[in-house]
Amino acid sequence: MTVPRPDQVTTVREFNRFYTRIIGLLDEGLLHTPYSLTEARVIFELAQRGPTDVADLRRDLSLDAGYLSRILARFTGNGLVTRVRSPQDARRQVVTLTETGRAAYEMLNERSDAQVVALLSGLSETARRQLVEAMRTIRTVLGPTPTPRAYLLRALRPGDAGWVVHRHGARYAEEYGWDDSFEALVARIVADYLTDRDPRRENAWIAELDGEPVGCVFCVRRDDAVAQLRLLLVEPHARGLGIGSRLVDECLRFARAAGYREIMLWTNDVLTDARRIYEKAGFELRDQAPHHSFGHDLVEQTWWRRL
Protein backbone atom coordinates (compact mmCIF):
# COMPACT_ATOMS: atom_id res chain seq x y z
CA MET A 1 0.00 0.00 0.00
CA THR A 2 1.44 3.36 -1.05
CA VAL A 3 1.02 6.62 0.84
CA PRO A 4 -1.26 9.09 -1.01
CA ARG A 5 0.27 12.31 -2.26
CA PRO A 6 -0.57 15.51 -0.35
CA ASP A 7 -2.44 16.91 -3.37
CA GLN A 8 -4.64 13.80 -3.44
CA VAL A 9 -5.51 14.25 0.23
CA THR A 10 -6.29 17.92 -0.40
CA THR A 11 -8.54 17.09 -3.36
CA VAL A 12 -10.59 14.56 -1.35
CA ARG A 13 -10.99 16.99 1.56
CA GLU A 14 -12.00 19.81 -0.79
CA PHE A 15 -14.61 17.57 -2.40
CA ASN A 16 -15.99 16.56 1.00
CA ARG A 17 -16.41 20.21 2.02
CA PHE A 18 -17.94 21.08 -1.35
CA TYR A 19 -20.48 18.23 -1.33
CA THR A 20 -21.57 18.65 2.27
CA ARG A 21 -22.39 22.27 1.43
CA ILE A 22 -24.23 21.30 -1.77
CA ILE A 23 -26.58 18.87 -0.01
CA GLY A 24 -26.96 20.93 3.15
CA LEU A 25 -25.33 18.60 5.68
CA LEU A 26 -24.11 21.61 7.67
CA ASP A 27 -27.62 22.96 8.18
CA GLU A 28 -29.07 22.73 11.68
CA GLY A 29 -31.73 20.24 10.55
CA LEU A 30 -31.39 17.89 7.57
CA LEU A 31 -33.73 18.89 4.71
CA HIS A 32 -35.35 21.54 6.95
CA THR A 33 -36.56 18.90 9.42
CA PRO A 34 -35.93 18.55 13.17
CA TYR A 35 -33.57 15.61 12.53
CA SER A 36 -29.80 15.54 12.25
CA LEU A 37 -28.08 13.55 9.50
CA THR A 38 -27.48 10.61 11.86
CA GLU A 39 -31.06 10.66 13.16
CA ALA A 40 -32.41 10.72 9.62
CA ARG A 41 -30.13 7.80 8.71
CA VAL A 42 -31.54 5.77 11.61
CA ILE A 43 -35.09 6.54 10.48
CA PHE A 44 -34.29 5.59 6.89
CA GLU A 45 -32.70 2.32 8.02
CA LEU A 46 -35.61 1.33 10.25
CA ALA A 47 -38.07 2.08 7.45
CA GLN A 48 -36.27 -0.38 5.18
CA ARG A 49 -35.81 -3.12 7.76
CA GLY A 50 -38.94 -3.30 9.91
CA PRO A 51 -38.39 -4.61 13.47
CA THR A 52 -34.63 -4.53 14.04
CA ASP A 53 -32.29 -5.70 16.76
CA VAL A 54 -30.63 -2.60 18.23
CA ALA A 55 -27.25 -4.33 18.26
CA ASP A 56 -27.55 -5.08 14.54
CA LEU A 57 -28.55 -1.48 13.82
CA ARG A 58 -25.56 -0.16 15.78
CA ARG A 59 -23.17 -2.50 13.97
CA ASP A 60 -24.47 -1.79 10.47
CA LEU A 61 -24.44 1.99 10.96
CA SER A 62 -21.10 1.96 12.84
CA LEU A 63 -22.56 4.04 15.67
CA ASP A 64 -21.37 4.36 19.24
CA ALA A 65 -23.68 2.38 21.53
CA GLY A 66 -24.31 5.32 23.86
CA TYR A 67 -24.98 7.72 20.95
CA LEU A 68 -27.51 5.36 19.35
CA SER A 69 -29.15 4.76 22.74
CA ARG A 70 -29.68 8.50 23.20
CA ILE A 71 -31.17 8.83 19.70
CA LEU A 72 -33.57 5.95 20.30
CA ALA A 73 -34.55 7.38 23.70
CA ARG A 74 -35.50 10.68 22.00
CA PHE A 75 -37.36 8.82 19.26
CA THR A 76 -39.26 6.80 21.88
CA GLY A 77 -40.21 9.95 23.75
CA ASN A 78 -41.42 11.56 20.52
CA GLY A 79 -43.45 8.51 19.56
CA LEU A 80 -41.32 7.66 16.50
CA VAL A 81 -40.30 4.17 17.63
CA THR A 82 -41.20 1.43 20.06
CA ARG A 83 -38.63 -0.71 21.85
CA VAL A 84 -39.30 -4.19 23.25
CA ARG A 85 -37.15 -7.03 24.52
CA SER A 86 -36.11 -9.55 21.90
CA PRO A 87 -38.11 -12.79 22.12
CA GLN A 88 -34.91 -14.69 21.29
CA ASP A 89 -32.70 -12.99 23.88
CA ALA A 90 -34.13 -10.93 26.75
CA ARG A 91 -30.83 -9.04 27.05
CA ARG A 92 -31.36 -7.48 23.62
CA GLN A 93 -33.86 -4.91 22.36
CA VAL A 94 -35.86 -4.76 19.13
CA VAL A 95 -36.83 -1.34 17.77
CA THR A 96 -39.67 -0.61 15.30
CA LEU A 97 -40.95 2.54 13.62
CA THR A 98 -44.45 3.62 14.69
CA GLU A 99 -46.96 5.20 12.33
CA THR A 100 -45.60 8.57 13.46
CA GLY A 101 -42.09 7.36 12.68
CA ARG A 102 -43.14 6.15 9.25
CA ALA A 103 -44.71 9.53 8.54
CA ALA A 104 -41.37 11.14 9.46
CA TYR A 105 -39.65 8.74 7.04
CA GLU A 106 -42.07 9.63 4.23
CA MET A 107 -41.40 13.33 4.80
CA LEU A 108 -37.62 12.80 4.76
CA ASN A 109 -37.84 10.59 1.69
CA GLU A 110 -39.97 13.05 -0.28
CA ARG A 111 -37.75 16.01 0.62
CA SER A 112 -34.63 14.02 -0.23
CA ASP A 113 -36.04 13.13 -3.66
CA ALA A 114 -37.05 16.74 -4.24
CA GLN A 115 -33.56 17.93 -3.32
CA VAL A 116 -31.94 15.58 -5.83
CA VAL A 117 -34.47 16.48 -8.53
CA ALA A 118 -33.63 20.15 -8.01
CA LEU A 119 -29.91 19.39 -8.18
CA LEU A 120 -30.19 17.37 -11.41
CA SER A 121 -32.73 19.66 -13.08
CA GLY A 122 -30.13 22.36 -13.50
CA LEU A 123 -27.84 20.05 -15.47
CA SER A 124 -27.85 18.91 -19.08
CA GLU A 125 -28.50 15.24 -19.79
CA THR A 126 -24.80 14.74 -20.55
CA ALA A 127 -23.79 16.40 -17.26
CA ARG A 128 -26.31 14.28 -15.34
CA ARG A 129 -24.88 11.11 -16.87
CA GLN A 130 -21.33 12.18 -16.02
CA LEU A 131 -22.34 12.98 -12.43
CA VAL A 132 -24.16 9.70 -11.89
CA GLU A 133 -21.31 7.66 -13.40
CA ALA A 134 -18.80 9.49 -11.20
CA MET A 135 -20.90 8.66 -8.14
CA ARG A 136 -21.09 5.01 -9.20
CA THR A 137 -17.31 5.02 -9.53
CA ILE A 138 -16.87 6.38 -6.01
CA ARG A 139 -19.15 3.66 -4.61
CA THR A 140 -17.30 0.97 -6.56
CA VAL A 141 -13.85 2.13 -5.46
CA LEU A 142 -14.67 2.78 -1.79
CA GLY A 143 -17.32 0.10 -1.26
CA PRO A 144 -16.78 -3.53 -0.33
CA THR A 145 -15.41 -5.81 -3.03
CA PRO A 146 -18.50 -7.27 -4.71
CA THR A 147 -18.96 -11.00 -5.04
CA PRO A 148 -18.21 -11.93 -8.66
CA ARG A 149 -21.42 -12.62 -10.58
CA ALA A 150 -21.47 -15.32 -13.23
CA TYR A 151 -22.61 -14.46 -16.73
CA LEU A 152 -22.65 -16.44 -19.96
CA LEU A 153 -22.34 -15.73 -23.67
CA ARG A 154 -24.63 -17.56 -26.07
CA ALA A 155 -25.81 -17.44 -29.66
CA LEU A 156 -28.90 -15.49 -30.67
CA ARG A 157 -32.25 -17.18 -30.09
CA PRO A 158 -35.67 -16.30 -31.52
CA GLY A 159 -36.77 -13.02 -29.99
CA ASP A 160 -33.24 -11.78 -29.24
CA ALA A 161 -33.13 -9.59 -32.37
CA GLY A 162 -36.11 -7.60 -31.10
CA TRP A 163 -34.39 -7.20 -27.72
CA VAL A 164 -31.25 -5.84 -29.44
CA VAL A 165 -33.22 -3.21 -31.34
CA HIS A 166 -35.36 -2.26 -28.34
CA ARG A 167 -32.48 -1.93 -25.87
CA HIS A 168 -30.31 0.06 -28.27
CA GLY A 169 -33.16 2.48 -28.94
CA ALA A 170 -34.10 2.88 -25.28
CA ARG A 171 -30.56 2.97 -23.88
CA TYR A 172 -29.12 5.53 -26.32
CA ALA A 173 -32.18 7.76 -25.97
CA GLU A 174 -31.81 7.70 -22.18
CA GLU A 175 -28.03 8.09 -21.97
CA TYR A 176 -27.34 10.35 -24.96
CA GLY A 177 -30.70 11.76 -26.06
CA TRP A 178 -30.46 10.18 -29.53
CA ASP A 179 -33.68 10.16 -31.55
CA ASP A 180 -35.47 7.24 -33.20
CA SER A 181 -33.34 7.46 -36.35
CA PHE A 182 -30.70 5.56 -34.36
CA GLU A 183 -33.19 2.82 -33.50
CA ALA A 184 -34.09 2.65 -37.19
CA LEU A 185 -30.40 2.19 -38.07
CA VAL A 186 -30.07 -0.64 -35.54
CA ALA A 187 -33.22 -2.27 -36.92
CA ARG A 188 -31.75 -2.22 -40.45
CA ILE A 189 -28.45 -3.71 -39.27
CA VAL A 190 -30.23 -6.50 -37.41
CA ALA A 191 -32.63 -7.16 -40.32
CA ASP A 192 -29.73 -7.38 -42.79
CA TYR A 193 -27.95 -9.81 -40.47
CA LEU A 194 -30.99 -12.07 -40.13
CA THR A 195 -31.76 -11.98 -43.86
CA ASP A 196 -28.33 -12.35 -45.42
CA ARG A 197 -26.13 -13.92 -42.73
CA ASP A 198 -23.31 -16.22 -43.84
CA PRO A 199 -22.95 -18.54 -40.80
CA ARG A 200 -19.32 -19.32 -41.70
CA ARG A 201 -18.26 -15.67 -41.58
CA GLU A 202 -20.87 -13.86 -39.46
CA ASN A 203 -22.09 -14.37 -35.91
CA ALA A 204 -23.69 -12.61 -32.95
CA TRP A 205 -23.75 -13.17 -29.21
CA ILE A 206 -26.01 -12.35 -26.29
CA ALA A 207 -24.61 -11.94 -22.77
CA GLU A 208 -26.90 -13.26 -20.02
CA LEU A 209 -26.82 -12.40 -16.32
CA ASP A 210 -29.18 -14.09 -13.87
CA GLY A 211 -31.04 -15.59 -16.82
CA GLU A 212 -31.72 -12.24 -18.53
CA PRO A 213 -30.03 -10.68 -21.59
CA VAL A 214 -27.76 -7.79 -20.60
CA GLY A 215 -25.46 -7.34 -23.60
CA CYS A 216 -24.77 -8.15 -27.23
CA VAL A 217 -22.30 -7.83 -30.08
CA PHE A 218 -22.35 -8.70 -33.80
CA CYS A 219 -19.51 -9.72 -36.13
CA VAL A 220 -20.41 -9.18 -39.80
CA ARG A 221 -18.62 -9.26 -43.14
CA ARG A 222 -17.38 -5.94 -44.52
CA ASP A 223 -15.47 -7.57 -47.38
CA ASP A 224 -13.56 -10.81 -47.86
CA ALA A 225 -10.59 -9.58 -45.82
CA VAL A 226 -12.25 -7.33 -43.24
CA ALA A 227 -14.83 -8.08 -40.56
CA GLN A 228 -16.88 -5.41 -38.80
CA LEU A 229 -17.77 -5.35 -35.10
CA ARG A 230 -21.26 -3.90 -34.61
CA LEU A 231 -23.89 -3.22 -31.95
CA LEU A 232 -21.82 -3.67 -28.81
CA LEU A 233 -24.09 -3.00 -25.84
CA VAL A 234 -23.97 -3.71 -22.10
CA GLU A 235 -26.84 -2.69 -19.80
CA PRO A 236 -25.80 -0.26 -17.03
CA HIS A 237 -26.59 -2.66 -14.15
CA ALA A 238 -24.29 -5.27 -15.73
CA ARG A 239 -21.30 -2.98 -16.31
CA GLY A 240 -18.11 -3.49 -14.35
CA LEU A 241 -18.20 -7.28 -14.72
CA GLY A 242 -16.01 -7.44 -17.83
CA ILE A 243 -18.92 -8.33 -20.12
CA GLY A 244 -18.08 -5.70 -22.73
CA SER A 245 -14.47 -6.86 -23.06
CA ARG A 246 -15.58 -10.49 -23.16
CA LEU A 247 -18.03 -9.77 -26.01
CA VAL A 248 -15.32 -7.98 -27.99
CA ASP A 249 -12.84 -10.81 -27.38
CA GLU A 250 -15.38 -13.34 -28.65
CA CYS A 251 -15.93 -11.25 -31.76
CA LEU A 252 -12.16 -11.11 -32.39
CA ARG A 253 -11.78 -14.85 -31.86
CA PHE A 254 -14.54 -15.63 -34.34
CA ALA A 255 -13.24 -13.16 -36.96
CA ARG A 256 -9.76 -14.65 -36.74
CA ALA A 257 -11.09 -18.20 -37.10
CA ALA A 258 -13.29 -17.14 -40.03
CA GLY A 259 -10.21 -16.06 -42.00
CA TYR A 260 -10.45 -12.29 -41.86
CA ARG A 261 -7.16 -10.35 -41.83
CA GLU A 262 -8.53 -7.20 -40.15
CA ILE A 263 -11.52 -6.06 -38.17
CA MET A 264 -12.96 -2.55 -37.95
CA LEU A 265 -15.78 -0.74 -36.21
CA TRP A 266 -17.66 2.56 -36.49
CA THR A 267 -18.53 4.55 -33.37
CA ASN A 268 -18.88 8.10 -32.05
CA ASP A 269 -16.52 9.91 -29.71
CA VAL A 270 -19.17 10.41 -27.00
CA LEU A 271 -19.19 6.65 -26.33
CA THR A 272 -16.21 6.85 -24.01
CA ASP A 273 -16.79 3.57 -22.14
CA ALA A 274 -16.94 1.61 -25.38
CA ARG A 275 -13.82 3.34 -26.71
CA ARG A 276 -11.87 2.23 -23.65
CA ILE A 277 -12.89 -1.37 -24.34
CA TYR A 278 -11.80 -1.06 -27.99
CA GLU A 279 -8.44 0.44 -27.06
CA LYS A 280 -7.84 -2.29 -24.50
CA ALA A 281 -8.60 -4.90 -27.18
CA GLY A 282 -5.94 -3.43 -29.47
CA PHE A 283 -8.04 -1.31 -31.83
CA GLU A 284 -6.46 1.90 -33.16
CA LEU A 285 -8.28 5.05 -34.26
CA ARG A 286 -7.83 5.55 -37.99
CA ASP A 287 -10.32 8.25 -39.02
CA GLN A 288 -12.73 10.69 -37.43
CA ALA A 289 -14.96 13.48 -38.72
CA PRO A 290 -17.86 15.64 -37.51
CA HIS A 291 -21.36 14.72 -38.62
CA HIS A 292 -24.97 15.34 -37.64
CA SER A 293 -26.91 12.18 -36.84
CA PHE A 294 -29.57 10.95 -34.43
CA GLY A 295 -30.54 14.54 -33.63
CA HIS A 296 -27.05 15.65 -32.48
CA ASP A 297 -23.76 17.03 -33.73
CA LEU A 298 -21.30 14.16 -33.25
CA VAL A 299 -17.80 13.07 -34.19
CA GLU A 300 -17.77 9.71 -35.96
CA GLN A 301 -14.74 7.45 -35.64
CA THR A 302 -13.48 4.30 -37.35
CA TRP A 303 -11.22 1.95 -35.40
CA TRP A 304 -9.16 -0.88 -36.91
CA ARG A 305 -7.20 -3.87 -35.68
CA ARG A 306 -5.14 -6.55 -37.45
CA LEU A 307 -6.07 -10.12 -36.58
Kindly report, residue by residue over 96-148, the tens digit of the pLDDT. 999 998 999 999 889 888 888 988 898 888 888 888 878 878 887 787 766 66
Minimum mean pLDDT range among 6-10, 174-178, 224-228? 6-10
Pairing of strands 262-268, 226-234: parallel
Fold annotation for 6-122: Arc Repressor Mutant, subunit A (1.10.10)
> CATH number of 151-306: 3.40.630.30, 3.30.70.20, 3.40.50.920, 2.40.50.140?
3.40.630.30
The answer to whether residues 107 and 33 touch, using CB atoms and an 8 Å cutoff, is yes
The answer to whether residues 177 and 292 touch, using CB atoms and an 8 Å cutoff, is no
pLDDT value of residue 281 = 95
pLDDT beyond 80 at 23 = no
* Section 215-244 average pLDDT: 94
Q: Where are the alpha helices (DSSP H) in 4-51?
A: 6-22, 37-49
Sheet harboring 212-221: ordered strands across?
A: 151-155, 203-209, 212-221, 226-234, 262-268, 296-306, 284-293
d(CA 247, CA 253) in angstroms, rounded, equals 10
CB burial class (10 A; 0-12, 13-18, 19+) of residue 69?
middle
CB burial class (10 A; 0-12, 13-18, 19+) of residue 109?
middle
In sequence order, the 6+-apart residues with CB closer than 8 A to the CB of 6 are none
The per-residue pLDDT of the chain, averaged, comes to 90
Q: What is the residue extent of each domain of the chain?
A: 6-122, 151-306
pLDDT value of residue 152 = 93
Kindly report, residue by residue over 204-217, the tens digit of the pLDDT. 999 998 889 999 99
